[in-house]
Chains A and B, each alone.
Chain A
């Protein structure tokens, strides 16, 4: 397995459900990111983790809860979401201080909230 892997690829959940998105990177990177991609909008940075420590939270609602147990794994825990949270959620990784070499993105999880 190489690159950045996200699971599941698709997820449909009700507004009262609790679910988690998983991201794993096999690149030896030490920074990981969650982005949200909605139609007609730019990718929105949600969370940044450097060396497992959260260094940025871009005013994301508390119904989104990230977890980074180690440098290779990143989770996004979801609860009581709203229909407007339906989007493509992308995970990415890079080397701390070397983001100018580019991120590597996963294929994303397409989330639909009903």
Chain B
């Protein structure tokens, strides 16, 4: 069973069409949930860390929220430059020395 599951696997939106990406996790002892953005041919770029249920963080058109078993990345009025793969990862007690466990990612395409 995957410890971190992201959905959908791929999402195609029109420019300006808001939507949400989901990340659900099954680990216990969450120390942090992370969102990264990855562009083709590049390494993941850190976006947010969330620590506890009810927490929210925002950056430009992105807003991340956290509940006890899942996180959402809301994208408001996206632009073509928001096209990327968005990765979710968790850090948890018993997960090893600071090693992050990742989901498979959501490939997001924003069409002009």
| A residues whose Cβ falls under 8 Å from a Cβ of B | 4, 6, 31, 33, 40-43, 45, 48, 50, 55-56, 58, 90, 92, 94, 96-97, 99-108, 110
Contact = CB atoms under 8 A, between A and B. Distances in A.
Given A42-B103, A43-B102, A102 B96 contact: no
Interface residues of B, number: 27
B87 A99 contact: no
A26 to B, nearest CB: 15
B102 A100 contact: no
A99 B99 CA distance: 8
Contacts of A33: 99
Contacts of A41: 104
Contacts of A105: 36, 43-45
A55 B41 CA distance: 29
Nearest to B45: A105
B98 interface: yes
Nearest to B35: A102
Given A40-B104, A102-B46, A56 B4 contact: no
Interface string B16-48: 000000000000000110101000011111100
Instruction: Return the 10 tightest CB-CB contacts between A and B, nearest first.
Output: A105-B43, A99-B98, A100-B32, A102-B46, A55-B97, A43-B102, A42-B102, A45-B99, A105-B44, A107-B43
